[in-house]
Amino acid sequence: MLSCQEASRLASQSLDRILTLRQRIELRLHQMICSGCRAFARQLQHIRQACRRTESSEGIDLDTASLSIAAKARILQEITVKQRERKQ
């Protein structure tokens, strides 16, 4: 039987590689009887979903915010300077 320490390590690895059949069964069995490790696995999923979510524009609702003309001019100038430096 896996300990919580072993189970949480496997729960993390399951997000990065395909576990062996034996590991998957052991992890599943442990999680069936351990609410702490079930919660831990859900937390990891939660973190992953939060990271994925920002891939889309969802949540960006500051429709009116935009760069000021002055800021755009300044940034454009910086880009031009940097490009010139890079060409040399």
Partner 1 sequence: MPQTIPPYDPAAWLTEHGDYLYRYALLQLRDDAAAEDAVQETLLAALGAWERFSGQSTVRTWLTGILKHKILDIFRKRSKEPQFTTSSDDPEADLALLEKSLFDANGHWLQAPSAWNEPESNFARQRFWQIFLACLAQLAPAHAQAFQMRELDGLSTEQICKDMNISSTNCWVMLYRARLGLQQCLEQRWGDRQLV
Binding footprint of partner 1 on the chain (CB under 8 A): 3-6, 8-9, 12-13, 15-17, 35-37, 39-40, 42-44, 46-48, 50-55, 57-63, 65-68, 71-72, 74-76, 78-79, 82-83, 86
Q: Which is closer to partner 1, CB of 28 or CB of 80? A: 80
Least distance to partner 1, CB of residue 32, Å: 15
Query: What is the signed CA dihedral for 44, 62, 70, 74, rounded to 10 degrees?
Result: 20
Instruction: Kindly report the number of other CB atoms within 10 A of residue 19's CB atom.
Output: 15
Q: Which is closer to partner 1, CB of 32 or CB of 79? A: 79
